[in-house]
């Protein structure tokens, strides 16, 4: 271990880091590929034709990047369709006013019928727990929990607010409410609604859950101070069974052995915006890793594999299938890294692994510092590689600057224009550098 740590700081590695970064910043294709994916294919929810197009696209890009082998991995994915949707409230003069809204992903709709009721507002889960069921019965529950801006790490604020998105429908149904409205999980100061996944518990009735933007939520809160407000929801969304789809995999075979190092992001996106930061950025960064190994002629000891996971957003079936297949085929995995937090300037790498491995990676910190990467304290890695982690594989996630992500995450605003070329490429450089070190030392 000691020998490795010392070895890890060598001049040779520092030169290789610089070669990797220079190659990517000068010749990286990630930014143009992201433009192609977001502008020519656009958003690509599981089960849509656009997703299938992106499968073909990723296959082709991996081949162009120089993968020795490219294949599709079959995945059964849930099909959820949004359809038409509208949410209205009755204003003081008796007129119906439309609110900007999105149904949450995997939510049931109203079957195209109007569902009307009085809105009651709660600010927290605790407040909701205290409400007697007869006050909720036949009402519409508005969960108005704001994104906590005081957290410097926005992911913490997101996780806190995430409880509302996940459980609002179930809680509403338990007390006989008609449907749930949640304030979006958003750090932005605008009116853009942020969709995202929700799940129904067993044994509760499946009431719809919708989300509204911050401005609308504030306005609704003000209105509710003075009087009763009636809301009317009409939506067609719902689950439409399952379908066969694919994750896309490409690799450069190991020169020494066949044990696998995985780099991946998710190929699907929500059905709004362009899925640029989430997670087109991660896809093109992962492909960039492979291309850079090829272009620089780095002789990789182990197999470097890129996985473009299917269905992260509303099922994580791609990640689960990948883990299952790896387990069944007893394929040795050395390491996996996910990139799914936006294509922003990298600041660190979050490590979910035992202390021995963690400390070894931390001993490389001086190699990473010139690239703005200093933070190795995180202990979480992404959801698509969680099944690998459960099998005992050391996993990691790229940690980019988190300040802007939740302004646009899961919205129509998640577009190519929000991505900066240098930030995106620098993230790819850091991933490639880490994989170079792991490949060499593990």
Partner 1 sequence: MKKIFIILPLFLSGFLFSQKKPLKKPVKKTTVAKFNYHDEFKRISDEIMTNGTAYENLGELTKGIGPRFSATPGYMKAVEWTEKKLKSIGIDMIWRMEAKAPVWIRGRESLQIKAANGDWKTIRMLSFGNSEGTGGKDLTGEIVLINSTSELNAMSIKQLKDKIVFVNVPMDPKIINTSDSYLITAKSKLISASVIAKTGAKALIIRSLTTATDDTPHAKMVYYEPDDKIRIPALSIGVRSADELEQLLKNQKVTAKLNMTAQSKGDTTNPNIIAEIQGKKDSKVIVLGAQLDSWDFGEGAIDDGTGVAQCIEVLRTFKALGIENNHTIRVVLYANSENGGQGREMYAAYVKKKDEKHVFALGTDAGGYSPRGFSLDMPPQRRRQIFEWKNYFLPYGIYDFDQTEAIQDISPLKKLDIPLAELVVDTQRYFDYHHSEQDTFDKVNKRELLLGAVAMTQLIFMIDKNW
Secondary structure of 231-243 in HEC code, one letter for each residue: EEEEECCEEEEEE
CB atoms under 10 Å from CB of 298, counted, come to: 20
CB of 377 to partner 1, least distance (A): 9
For partner 1, the closer CB: 154 or 301: 154
CB atoms under 10 Å from CB of 19, counted, come to: 16
Give the 3-state secondary structure percentages of the chain, helix then strand then coil, rounded to 5: 40, 25, 35
CB of 9 to partner 1, least distance (A): 17
Is residue 76 a contact point for partner 1 (CB under 8 A)? no
CA 193 to chain centre: 17
347, 389, 409, 440: which one binds partner 1 (CB under 8 A): 347
Is residue 56 a contact point for partner 1 (CB under 8 A)? no
Q: Label residue 224 left, alpha or beta by phi (over 0 means left) and psi (-120 to 50 means alpha).
A: alpha
CB atoms under 10 Å from CB of 220, counted, come to: 20
Is residue 345 a contact point for partner 1 (CB under 8 A)? yes
- Omega within 30 of 0 (cis) for the link into 181: no
For partner 1, the closer CB: 7 or 374: 374
CB of 47 to partner 1, least distance (A): 34
Is residue 397 a contact point for partner 1 (CB under 8 A)? no
Judge contact between 348 and 399, C-beta under 8 A: yes
For partner 1, the closer CB: 17 or 128: 17
CB atoms under 10 Å from CB of 73, counted, come to: 17
Give 227: exposed, middle or buried? Use CB within 10 Å, 0-12, 13-18, 19+: exposed
8, 13, 16, 21: which one binds partner 1 (CB under 8 A): 21
14, 22, 124, 205: which one binds partner 1 (CB under 8 A): 22
Task: Find the part of the chain contacting partner 1 (CB under 8 A) among 84-92, 291-299, 308-316, 421-429.
Answer: 421-429
Residues 136-165 that bind partner 1 (CB under 8 A): 149-150, 152, 154
Give the Cα separation of 200 and 154 in Å (integer): 26
Q: Among residues 21, 210, 182, 197, which one has the least CA distance to residue 115?
A: 210
Structure tokens that stand for 93 in this block: 């003069």
For partner 1, the closer CB: 36 or 401: 401
Give the Cα separation of 62 and 389 in Å (integer): 25
Is residue 401 a contact point for partner 1 (CB under 8 A)? yes
Task: Find the part of the chain contacting partner 1 (CB under 8 A) among 84-92, 281-289, 314-322, 368-376.
Answer: 368-376
CB of 277 to partner 1, least distance (A): 13
Residues 174-213 that bind partner 1 (CB under 8 A): 187, 189
User: Which chain residues interact with partner 1 by CB under 8 A?
Assistant: 21-22, 25-26, 149-150, 152, 154, 187, 189, 345, 347, 370-372, 374-375, 401, 403-404, 407, 420-423, 426
């Amino acid at each position: 271990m000691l020998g490795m740590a010392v070895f890890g700081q060598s001049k040779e590695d520092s030169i290789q880091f610089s070669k990797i970064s220079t190659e990517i910043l000068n010749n990286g294709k990630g930014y143009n590929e992201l433009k192609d994916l977001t502008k020519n294919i656009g958003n690509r929810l599981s089960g849509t034709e656009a997703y299938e197009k992106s499968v073909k696209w990723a296959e082709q890009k991996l081949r162009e990047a120089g993968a020795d082998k490219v294949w599709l991995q079959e995945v059964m994915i849930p099909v959820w369709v949004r359809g038409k949707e509208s949410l209205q409230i009755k204003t003081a003069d008796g007129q119906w006013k439309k609110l900007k809204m999105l149904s949450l992903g995997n939510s049931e709709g109203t079957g195209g019928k109007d569902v009307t009721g009085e809105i009651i507002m709660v600010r927290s889960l605790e407040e909701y727990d205290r409400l007697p069921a007869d006050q909720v019965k036949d009402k519409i529950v508005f969960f108005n929990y704001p994104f906590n801006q005081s957290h410097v790490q926005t992911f913490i604020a997101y996780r806190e607010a995430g409880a509302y998105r996940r459980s609002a429908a179930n809680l509403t149904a338990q007390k006989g409410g008609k449907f749930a409205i949640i304030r979006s999980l958003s750090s932005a100061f605008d009116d853009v609604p942020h969709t995202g996944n929700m799940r129904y518990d067993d044994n509760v009735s499946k009431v719809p859950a919708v989300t509204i933007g911050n401005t609308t939520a504030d306005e609704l809160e003000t209105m509710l101070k003075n009087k009763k407000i009636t809301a009317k929801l009409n939506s067609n969304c719902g689950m439409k069974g399952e379908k066969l789809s694919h994750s896309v995999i490409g690799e450069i075979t190991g020169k020494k052995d066949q044990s696998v190092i995985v780099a991946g992001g998710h190929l699907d996106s929500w059905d709004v915006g362009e899925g640029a930061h989430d997670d087109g950025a991660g896809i093109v960064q992962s492909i960039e890793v492979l291309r850079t190994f090829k272009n620089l002629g780095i002789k990789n000891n182990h197999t470097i594999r890129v996985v473009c996971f299917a269905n992260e957003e509303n099922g994580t079936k791609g990640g689960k299938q990948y883990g299952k297949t790896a387990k069944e085929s007893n394929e040795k995995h050395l390491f996996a890294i996910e990139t799914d937090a936006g294509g922003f300037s990298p600041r660190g790498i979050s490590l979910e692994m035992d202390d021995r491995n963690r400390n070894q990676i931390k001993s490389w910190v001086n190699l990473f510092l010139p690239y703005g990467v200093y933070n190795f304290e995180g202990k979480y890695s992404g959801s698509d590689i969680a099944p690998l982690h459960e099998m005992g594989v050391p996993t990691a996630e790229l940690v980019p600057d988190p300040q802007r992500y939740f302004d646009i995450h899961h919205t129509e605003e998640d577009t190519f224009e929000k991505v900066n070329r240098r930030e995106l490429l620098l993230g790819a450089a850091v991933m490639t550098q880490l994989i170079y070190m792991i490949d060499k030392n593990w």
